[in-house]
Amino acid sequence: MVERLDGVYHARNARGRALGTFDDLDSARYEIGGRSLEAPVASYGLVTKLLWGVNAVAVVIALGLAVMLFR
């Protein structure tokens, strides 16, 4: 749980144990294992590169099959 009190964020675990006080919500959520409010750009970049690679291989295979078919 994260609660805001007196302009700071207090993080607590599921049993109510205090985990710390933070100036911003993202830091408090990170401490309890929650997600950041910002998108994880790095992981999206890796997935995007992987999918582009798979598509490129599929195109090369399709072109090779088309060439073999029309010979």
DSSP string, 24-69: SHHHHHHHTT---SS--HHHHHHHHHHHHHHHHHHHHHHHHHHHHH
pTM of the predicted model as reported, rounded to 2 decimal places: 0.46
Whether 13 shows a pLDDT value over 60: the answer reads yes
Whether 32 shows a pLDDT value over 60: the answer reads yes
Share of the chain above pLDDT 90, in %: 44
Question: What does the domain layout of the chain look like in residue ranges?
Answer: 1-38, 39-71
Whether 43 shows a pLDDT value over 60: the answer reads no
Report, as an integer, the average pLDDT of 41-55: 80
Whether 40 shows a pLDDT value over 60: the answer reads no
